[in-house]
Structure 1
Amino acid sequence: MWAIPASADEVAIERGEYLLRAAGCISCHTDVKNGGPPLSGGRPLKTPFGTFYSPNITPDQETGIGAWTDEDFVRALRDGVRPDGAHYFPVFPYPSYARMTTSDMHDLKAYLFSIAPVRREVPDHEVPFPFSWRFLQMVWKVLFFSSQEYVADTERGSEWNRGAYVVQALAHCGECHTPRNFLGAPNMDLFLAGTPDGPDGELVPNITPDSQTGIGDWSKGDLVQLLQSGLKPDFDDVQGSMYEAIEHGLKFLTDEDLEAVAGYILSLDPISNRVSREK
């Protein structure tokens, strides 16, 4: 018998589920500690600027994104703007998602709109004045934001560019592993060099290939193993946000993508930055 080819919608949904894993949507948009349904939002994230609650991204018409058009969805990821015109706070990693291709954005939306809607209100952000003023995000964007889609480096191969795309856009590794200035913008001179002020106050390690303060003594296989299992070369395991990122997302990536990620990270210039708590 002839196999029936998958429809374009089915292909988009399958790709979208993969992109959802790569983008870490489940761990951020699911309030696991309080038994929230997957992707229905409400997870609190404590930052130096206040506590933010992730939105419901199921296709519920009233409490989720069910009324969004394709253009609304792309605008949220590319420009950091809600359908009502309000600016998102950059705790939503749209500065990284902006680098995604439009086709990947459409596939991600296709998957999200294929799942069951969940009616669930989420709490308002607990952000003090003046950071609570959304219109100030326009100024932040002028200073720190670019909506430029990822542009391949023609001097590098396809595997390196795939790794760069996953790290910089989909998996948004720099959002957690890069220190920020007093206005919450990443210090790109220290890209992936770690910070003591990560999500929920976690210490986030330096993952540049510095031999003393980073992962310079790791092999490509060591890094792939970590992303698949959460185990470091010394057999210690990751905790906190990184555990969630792996358990709900990164371990589902293909070997090819994980090898591309590892190759890209280990190709970067080493940065000496020892991450520790101030005493």
Structure 2
Amino acid sequence: MSQTKDKVIITCAVTGGVHTPSMSPYLPLTPEQIAADAIAASKAGAAILHLHARDAADGRPTPDPRVFEQFVPRIKASTNAVINITTGGSTRMSLEERLAYPLIAGPEMCSLNMGSMNFSIHPAARKIEHWKHEWEKPYIEGMEDMIFRNSFKDIKHILHVLGDRHGTRFEFECYDLGHLYNLAHFVNEGLIKAPLFIQCVFGVLGGMGPDPENLIHMRSTADRLFGRENYRFSVLGAGRHQIPLSTMSALMGGNIRVGLEDSLFLAKGELAASSADQVLKIRRILEELSLEIATPDEARAMLGLKGGDAVGF
């Protein structure tokens, strides 16, 4: 399985649980907005749609299955994209809350953070002069004293209740080198089977910095741990590092993730009006480099997914 000849899988994360409404007027918050942005991203070329939910009243992250149910089936009915439901949610959510909708939906794919970590954007609070909602400032500033928890037992539980019981496969989010070794532990225990889909995350405070050398190191380490034939890697560059690191990943035979969850900008000083705009931008770059974009069904075959007809929505 030579990745250098494979097409590039574009994942799009349309809203996430980190940014708040005061940071961008374009961040999708309501079920209608999330559905519209996801559908547009799929039409722009995203094969995988990574989804979080928001409370429509004030935009705060929510794990409520009733909210997911207002937009996930709509997206499935309008696209052929692989629907990827977060199990990360936010640092404020318990494991039970984070799994509430995935266990109902049984999706083709879920994200899975490969370890506990400091995860913060609290310095961003200093840049906001006017907050739209009372919850936002303490939410962002409070990240300085929050830990995202995924213990070995938590990860094992997620692999069992979603992977074994529902046939869901995972976007393994690795924010640091040690997360690759955590992943290798579960592979060695026989709890995870190839092909792996490894999402290397760069530029989040608490994880790896966005240095190109770190991407090379993660790639070579994954080769040693798993063998290149057993995994596919993808890159998420936070903020202004989104497009440069995505391009570098594709040139190295990897895949990419964009979307307003990861960066609010399209260019320096220019807010992205939608996640689809970011998909179109990286697609233009990749096609200029003579790289082909994978369709959803091609992504399914590459990642060994169960198919959209085998989900619970």
Q: When you count helix as a share of all residues, which structure comes out higher?
A: 2
Tell me whether the two structures share a fold, i.e. TM-score over 0.5: no
**TM-score, normalization by structure 2:** 0.27
Greater C-alpha radius of gyration: 1
Q: Which structure: greater strand fraction?
A: 2
Compare relative contact order (CA 8 Å, sep 6+) and give the higher one, 1 or 2. 2
Q: What is the TM-score with the length of structure 1 in the denominator?
A: 0.29
